[in-house]
Amino acid sequence: MEENKSLDKKSLRFLKGKHTDWDELVKDCVAFANAQGGEIVVGIEDNESLPPLGQTIKDKNLPDILQKNIVQRSVNVAVAITIETASNKAEYIKIQVFRNAQTIASTTDGKYYVRVADECRPVPPDEMARLAAEKNAFVWEIQTTKRVDKLLFDTKKKSNFISDIRRSSRVSGFIKEMSDEEILEHYFFQKGNYLTNLGILWIGQRADRASLLYPPAIQVIRYDENEEKVWKLLLDDYFLNPKELLDKILSDVPDWQESIEISEGMFRKNIPFFPIEVVRELVVNALVHRTYTTRGDIFINIFHDKVEIHSPGRLPYGVTPSNILTQSIRRNEQLSKVFYDLGLMEKEGSGYDLVYAKLLGSGKPIPLVTETNERVIVTIKKQFISKDIVRLMDKASSEFILKQKEIISLGLIAQQQSYSAIEISKLLNQREEVGLRNWLGRLLEYELVKKSGIGRGTQYSINPEFIRRINFKGKTNLKNIEDHRLEELIYKDINAYPESAFSEIHKRIGLEINESKVKRMLKLMTDENKITAKGEKRWTRYSIAQNM
């Protein structure tokens, strides 16, 4: 049991009677209410999954006291508080915070928070409008504002949906045994006597689908090298539901079939310029996570050297281009469930894992995600880093059964040949060493990746033995320079340029060498009296020691 976007843990010592930090507890409740809801368990330590053995809640009035103080200090926050017994017979308090679907929760003194990953973050004033828009998006799916009778469905679309659900390996037998009517209600396609917006989108008739606020429309445009339009596919007539739109994009755009042939001895392998799994996942993301209360078509722009997928609206609150690999928030929860149950998308939080793994496993750069005030743009490059990278990743994947996270880490390191722990942690959005170890997995154990240095100077690089075995010819750089060669390089530089500052030395010998590694070597050479250091901090100047 680890803290995440829907769970927070506090020690029982947090409750100190009159000295309890109620503001901290209320802040957490407000943050959960403004996100997807969640639980706060009081009585379980941060690093534990169960309460301490023998722990009992002596004051049985605590739930009422907690309820009273939370209600008095918050606005639009609903909670249910109970005393629970864990599997080890110890007791703890569970605070269930319900998602506030249509209004924004706050503290009584006017402060707003939202839960992002395992943190409760304040909402700045300029983000309030965005948070309000997200609230409207949450409830769009199950509204019946169009008052379309539930019998006015498209017979073929309904039949196909029911058939797809009953054939899906992701759907439980319990659901498959439901009647057609019960299945439609289970997936919120209808409510009462009417089709919901989601129902109209998926099984509704064309006229009703067109009457939705902003039904999905897709434009695929191919440009030549002069960025002139040479081909166009318009899917904006509202005949197709989201699944049919996806199938049309994957089957009717010939560019997804283009590939390059790479030889490996007597064998040859075709590597697609744009892996179909990547295209599928990105188009699904554009359909599932777009804001259906915002105007705008989905654009797929195909250039001679890249593909851009434009989705209207911004990323879900809490997701940024820098954390998109590790952060996942469902915007259209019921639509996401339909896509997942039909096998059209990966489970929550693993979509971009797949995109990164497929691209890096094929020797291609990672996707570039940019966000404007109106849309999100994902760019996939057509070119490969090098054929040697493709061969290296193919060889590693064929010899070892690598997990997605291991493929991503290996691909990132292979393309640069070396990364410091700080650099790769930033790329993978990991702040702790434990998180980074989880991404590296068994790469060190398999001796595919070599670790050197300690602390901030830790470097990860492709194992030279594996490189030699597959005759890998990567680009030459100084990232993996050995200590004795680095010492010689620094010595020669200071000998030629006495009284040099650290930044000057680093720039001359090569900025690709890790900064911490150079500082460590300068300190070591100073301690061994091979060089002298005068001044402090940024004014330190290095020269050759007189005894040398």
CA distances from 316 to 36, 120, 123, 137, 348 (A): 12, 16, 14, 10, 13
Whether 477 is in a domain gets the answer no
Q: Can you list the residues of the chain whose pLDDT is less than 70?
A: 1, 135-138, 264-267, 347-350, 432-433, 456, 470-480, 547-548
Show which of 341, 362, 382 is a domain's final residue.
Answer: 382
Give yes or no: residues 238 and 201 share one domain: yes
Show which of 330, 363, 382 is a domain's final residue.
Answer: 382
Whether 264 is in a domain gets the answer yes
Give yes or no: residues 245 and 150 share one domain: yes
Pairing state between β 148-149 and 194-195: antiparallel
Max distance between CA atoms of the chain, in angstroms, equals 95
pLDDT reported for residue 387: 79
CA–CA distance, 286 with 299 (Å, rounded to integer): 9
Q: What is the sign, positive or negative, of the torsion defined by CA atoms of 430, 432, 434, 436?
A: positive
Give yes or no: residues 350 and 439 share one domain: no
How many residues are recorded in the chain?
A: 548
Whether 1 is in a domain gets the answer no
Q: What is the DSSP letter of 340?
A: H
Pairing state between β 194-195 and 190-191: antiparallel
- Which domain range does residue 195 map to? 127-382
Whether 538 is in a domain gets the answer yes
pLDDT reported for residue 213: 79
CA–CA distance, 47 with 246 (Å, rounded to integer): 43
Give yes or no: residues 216 and 340 share one domain: yes
- Specify the pTM: 0.75
pLDDT reported for residue 394: 83
Give yes or no: residues 496 and 412 share one domain: no
Q: What is the 3-state secondary structure (H, E, C) of 436-496?
A: HHHHHCCCCCCCCEEEECCHHHCEEEECHHHHHHCCCCCCCCCCCCCHHHHHHHHHHHHHH
CATH of the domain at 66: 3.30.950.30
Give the closest residue to 347 by CA, choosing from 337, 360, 335.
337
Rounded (10°) CA dihedral 492, 495, 496, 502: 80
What single letter denotes the amino acid at residue 476? T
Three-state secondary-structure class, residue 240: coil
Contact 198, 335 (CB under 8 A): yes
Strand partners, 149: 194
Residue located via tokens 């439901």:
178
Show which of 382, 414, 447 is a domain's final residue.
Answer: 382
Give yes or no: residues 427 and 511 share one domain: no
Give yes or no: residues 135 and 281 share one domain: yes
Q: What domain count does the chain have?
A: 4
pLDDT reported for residue 476: 54
What single letter denotes the amino acid at residue 100? N
pLDDT in tens, 44-98: 988 888 999 999 998 889 999 999 999 999 999 999 999 999 999 999 999 999 9
Give yes or no: residues 209 and 252 share one domain: yes
What single letter denotes the amino acid at residue 220? V
List b or e across 431-440, with b for residues whose CB sees 16 or more CB atoms inside 10 angstroms.
eeeeebeebb
CA–CA distance, 443 with 409 (Å, rounded to integer): 9
Q: Residue 221 belongs to what H/E stretch?
A: strand 218-223
CATH of the domain at 441: 1.10.10.10
pLDDT in tens, 457-480: 788 888 888 877 766 555 556 666
